[in-house]
Structure 1
Amino acid sequence: MKENLISILKERFDKTLDLHPNSNWDEVEEKLLKDKKLLETLCLMEETGGEVNFVDLPIFSGPVFLDCAKESPKGRRSLCYDKEARIKRKKNAPNSSVMEEAEKIGIKVLNEDQYYTLQELFEFDLKSSSWILTEGELRERGGALFCEKRYGRVFTFHNGAESYYSSRGFRGYVEI
């Protein structure tokens, strides 16, 4: 799987030069071959439907591998926001949550600014939605945020953090 993933990543890299205008594939591949943990994380991202791609843009603190799937990754849907929300859910609690899965995979969840900026570069979540990082008072009050794109514009919505839907997942990234 890992050798196959590297060739898939190279193909995506070559097709999306605008996502990493000053990057060189040979340097990226060298990092991948040296960092087994990173490669394992990318395999998990890919296995859960992330369609991972290399991105080197100012919205991140450095180069990252990012979920670039057209819709929210299918293997990361039907999750409430975090462990606290999952435990509080009275009926039909999901097996996991966004924040637990992100930690398990080894990725960070996109924040609202990152989500909006990425939507300017390529369209995604036209039929699905993705939880985004929710901190502070909103989360303390039991809420969480998610985004989607409809009618040619991006929307941010809120839900109780314990809610979950079959069409809502989450997108993430791993720094390298």
Structure 2
Amino acid sequence: MTTKKQLTSTEIDSLLELLKKRFEKNTHRHKEIDWINVRAKLLESPEKLWSLQEMENTGGEPDVVSYDQQKDEYLFVDCSPESPKGRRSLCYDREALESRKDHPPKNSVIDLANEMGVELLTEEQYHDLQMLEEFDLKTSSWLKTPDEIRRLEGLF
């Protein structure tokens, strides 16, 4: 069974309106980025709109934080002040999930991110995000852990 990873036109309009309001309310996160260009780029990528909606569905607040001119890509990051309720109480990956015999979490961060079509932030991206404003004062967020560190059973 495949999951429908497309939004209806009504869902797209609603999501774009929500993202636009958040964009306009938080201009300090994306100085010199124009919403019209962001909107046009999103409309070219229905799968990215679906992923942004998934972030919203789990309590997130995705917003644009940068633009990569070389790749012609906008970076959306979850800018909710704390880790969203729909993404808490998870372990890092499948290996960690399978090792939890008593009271295992319902999912892993890596599996959930893959299901949602999103990626975890790197340590550098998270640092850049913290330069925009303060996040995770009461909760903590999982970051992408390099494979060589994970092999040593380390995590970020």
* TM-score using structure 2 length: 0.83
2:22 pairs with 1:3: no
Aligned residues: 143
RCO higher in 1 or 2 (8 Å CA, sep ≥ 6)? 1
Counterpart selection for 1:16 from 20, 26, 31: 26
CA displacement 1:89-147 (0-9 Å, x = unmatched): 222112210000111101110111111221111111011111111124431122312xx
Q: By percentage of residues, which structure has more helix?
A: 2
Structure 2 residue matching 1:54: 3-state secondary structure: strand
Matches for 1:40-55 after TM superposition, within 5 Å:
40-55=50-65
For residue 9 of structure 1, report the CA deviation from its aligned partner: 0.7
Q: Contact 2:33/2:67 (CA < 8 Å) preserved in 1?
A: no
Unaligned runs of 5+ in 1: 146-176
Distance, in Å, in 1 between the alignment partners of 2:35 and 2:79 is 18
Determine the structure 1 residue equivalent to 2:4: none
Matches for 1:67-82 after TM superposition, within 5 Å:
67-82=78-93
Distance, in Å, in 2 between the alignment partners of 1:29 and 1:20 is 14
Distance, in Å, in 2 between the alignment partners of 1:22 and 1:83 is 40
* TM-score using structure 1 length: 0.74
Counterpart selection for 1:138 from 114, 135, 149: 149
Q: Contact 1:70/1:123 (CA < 8 Å) preserved in 2?
A: yes
Structure 1 residue matching 2:76: 3-state secondary structure: strand
**CA RMSD of superposed structures (Å):** 1.7
Distance, in Å, in 2 between the alignment partners of 1:4 and 1:74 is 22
Q: Contact 1:41/1:107 (CA < 8 Å) preserved in 2?
A: yes
Identical amino acids, percent of aligned pairs: 45
